[in-house]
């Protein structure tokens, strides 16, 4: 199992995320910063869906101040 953290709920909601954005069984590609201690987890950056739609979380978003570009 993996544990990933995203931005705050208010920010993610304003970016288009909802409780059913990712559903069990969805095939997605995740980009994230891994944990420093090597455990299975990290900070969520982007999620890409099979149709090419990409959603971001906090530092993964280009419009976020201080974001990685």
Specify the pTM: 0.77
Lowest mean pLDDT among 3-7, 47-51, 56-60: 56-60
Lowest mean pLDDT among 4-8, 25-29, 42-46, 62-66: 62-66
64 contacts 58 by C-beta, under 8 angstroms: yes
- Phi-psi category of residue 7: left, alpha or beta, with phi > 0 → left and psi -120 to 50 → alpha: beta
Instruction: Say how far apart CA 32 and CA 40 lie, in whole Å.
Output: 11
> Residue 45's pLDDT is what?
92
């Amino acid at each position: 199992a993996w544990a990933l953290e995203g931005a705050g709920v208010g920010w993610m909601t304003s970016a288009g995320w909802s409780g059913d954005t990712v559903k069990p069984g969805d095939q997605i590609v995740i980009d994230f910063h891994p944990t420093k201690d090597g455990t299975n987890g990290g900070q969520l950056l982007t999620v890409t869906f099979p149709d090419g739609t990409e959603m971001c979380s906090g530092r993964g978003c280009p419009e976020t101040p201080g974001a990685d570009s």
